[in-house]
Structure 1
């Protein structure tokens, strides 16, 4: 009798947050997602075009191109969520059918893209750390071929370790008033508390926690080294690129931190309570912002990126001081690591 009373109290308490969840889903899914994802996708496509132009194929840009692909997958996934929510409002039955069939795969893709983006950001930070702190070794260590191989390995490994998420949910059918109602339930594999606890904790540690620790340490080292060489005019272009990478890393850390905190406690998925799911809507929106904002960061901080972009789209002019009229840089030689790095974004 006591357990029954407690369960009733929990359900009543959860119902109090139903309106909060529905409001959060409307604000994030119906308003913010399309407003962020559509410009973000356009920006990522433009980023890929610019990064594959002549004289832009460097090791750093290889990582950034792979990151743009991962971010685009995340944004497409979020746009599909927006479409499902529109269906829920216009035709609830069709919306439920779409949700039940799409959500298990969308959840899998979400985890893949987040894991891939996390470790590609770590790769960029590691390369920048080597370029700033060990410039002589950077010439042999930071090659485009190596960057491409590392990016491919990250994709393969993260898809493999995230594969159990593809088996998290299964469809169920129940008859209510002679009407078949579709829904999702956690599979037997994920109903195992030990598997759920240890796998979820391990993957979240791999996806968020250890990534945050590494990025904070590397960023601190990069900033410290950058301050030591900031007065050297010879390194101005490399320092500008480094500053841009610092901003990319800091934005990533800020955006993934709420998700990392929630994921440690296993909060906020389909089977969670309304409060957790409502908070998850906002933490996922921060991840969406992170996936969409890099194009703007490149435009603001990278003169080379702006100039290459204007070559493609002459009608887009950026009014900045100190830029050459012809929109290109002179190669300063190949003996110094700075020469290779100067053509990065």
Structure 2
């Protein structure tokens, strides 16, 4: 079965499954419906995930290009750019992993994997946990910044400036890398068979207690805690949007249509960011709860968390890919800038005929 970059311990998942399959008396009848579904989905997961990753890599590349245009520069867009880079790195690493371990081979040590692929499996697991955790806490930072801007108009621009945004991104990256160091030292490649195949084994540096404790810490600090923060901030932002909607209606009734339009664009940006936050919560919270419970009871890891590994993977990959669609749907400025950058060839043809084109569209309203 294909296991994920977001599962805390891809290696233990496979070793556990292999160990369980060797226990005497365990037959097909003892397998749960969840495990049967996992086996079925594993057959198509590699192909589905590669398609999602290709779309996501292209979409995030376009996000980065659009969000770094001069007219798009803002603290919020700076965070969104860093988020797009983290998501793109996660999916870029996943493509070779899925191609080999899901499409061309399986995560079965009996297949005599080459040393290079086993090393890549370990690198991929650690790297994607790190990059995806960075993306998650950048989303938390994004929600915090937006809350300050929306709910504290006078202090928002001063507190959420570009300098503090850059500092926030740097701190998130450094702290996440330090926190994920245990992942990098927990397993090493080792010779598995006399036929020359390699697999992985646990290092003597990590005890069972340390491993279970890190499960618990991973579930709480890297999954549940940010999801709780995002849920609270989403609630606060939704309340702020309701207040803004009431203010917009008041401005319209008093004839101040320009102020009302600016307030409306500001509100659409907040709605878009809340949608991004909610997508993260829906994807990450179930994983965090199961990772936490796995640290308490390993049977949960073996019987629930491991079989759902590929499902969690595809949810994370989809979540990393949808931001582009959200920007296009909810941000007038993003759409206008996207057309100006990527549809310039079309606009030149139209302009030669004196026809208005999307590239000549002037973006209006506030920045994201």
The answer to whether TM tops 0.5 is yes
Which residue in the other structure is 1:126 paired with? 144
Equivalence map 1:285-300=2 (5 Å)? 285-300=314-329
Q: Is the 8 A contact 1:88 1:94 kept in 2?
A: no
Residue 247 (str. 1) matches residue 275 (str. 2) = yes
User: For residue 196 of structure 2, what is the aligned residue in structure 1?
Assistant: 180
Partner of 1:79: 95
- Verify: 1:217 aligned to 2:232, yes or no: yes
Q: Which residue is 1:327 aligned to?
A: 361
Mapped contact 1:21–1:275 kept (Cα < 8 A): no
Q: List aligned pairs for 1:205-284, cutoff 5 A.
A: 205-231=220-246, 232=248, 233=260, 234-266=262-294, 273=302, 276-284=305-313
The aligned residue for residue 200 of structure 1 is 215
Structure 1 runs of 4+ aligned residues shifted over 3 Å read 7-22, 92-99, 272-276, 323-326
- Alignment partner of 1:343: what SS? coil
Deviation, structure 1 residue 327? 2.1
CA offset at residue 197 of structure 1? 2.0
Contact persistence 1:15–1:274 (CA under 8 A): no
- SS of corresponding position for 2:155: helix
* TM, length-normalised to structure 2: 0.78
Change (3 A) 1:77 1:325: closer
User: Which of 143, 147, 161 does residue 143 from structure 1 map onto?
Assistant: 161
TM-score (norm. length: structure 1): 0.83
For the 8 Å contact 1:114–1:207, the answer to whether it is kept is no
Residue 72 of structure 1 and its aligned partner are, at CA, apart by: 0.6
Q: Say which of 170, 189, 192 aligns to 2:205.
A: 189
Which of 312, 333, 341 in structure 2 is aligned with 1:312?
A: 341
CA drift at 1:10? 8.0
Check the 8 A contact 2:75/2:160 in 1, yes or no. yes
Residue 367 of structure 2: aligned partner? 343
Q: 1:97 offset after TM fit, Å?
A: 4.4
Q: Is the 8 A contact 1:87 1:94 kept in 2?
A: no
> What SS does structure 2 have at the residue aligned with 1:8?
coil
Choose from 174, 177, 186 the match for 1:159. 177
Q: Distance in 2 between matches of 1:157 and 1:31?
A: 34
**C-alpha deviation, 1:258, in angstroms:** 2.5
Give the 3 Å change call, closer, same or farther, for CA 113–81 of structure 1 in structure 2. same
**CA 1:266–1:235 in 2, change beyond 3 Å: closer, same or farther?**
same
Displacement after TM superposition at 1:37 (Å): 0.5
**Matched residue, 2:70:** 54
Aligned length: 316
CA contact (8 A) 2:189 2:201 kept: yes
CA distance in 1, matches of 2:332, 2:168: 27
Structure 1 gaps of 5+ residues are 1-6, 318-322, 332-341
Q: CA deviation at 1:9?
A: 5.9
> Alpha-carbon deviation of 1:8?
3.4
How many angstroms apart in 2 are the aligned matches of 1:316 and 1:218? 41
**CA 1:325–1:155 in 2, change beyond 3 Å: closer, same or farther?**
closer
Helix, strand or coil at the partner of 2:361: coil
Structure 1 97/316 Cα, relative in aligned 2: closer, same or farther at 3 Å?
A: farther
Q: Which residue of 1 aligns with 2:84?
A: 68
Aligned counterpart in structure 1 of residue 41 of structure 2, from 24, 44, 54: 24
Measured in 2, the distance between the counterparts of 1:168 and 1:12 equals: 31
Distance 1:14 1:327, change over 3 A: farther
The answer as to whether partners of 1:259 and 1:280 remain within 8 angstroms in 2 is no
Report deviation, 1:23: 2.5
Alpha-carbon distance between aligned partners in 1 of 2:214 and 2:165, rounded to the nearest angstrom: 29
Shift of 1:145: 1.9
Secondary structure of 1:172's partner? Answer: strand
- How far, CA to CA, are the matches of 1:10 and 1:226 in structure 2? 59
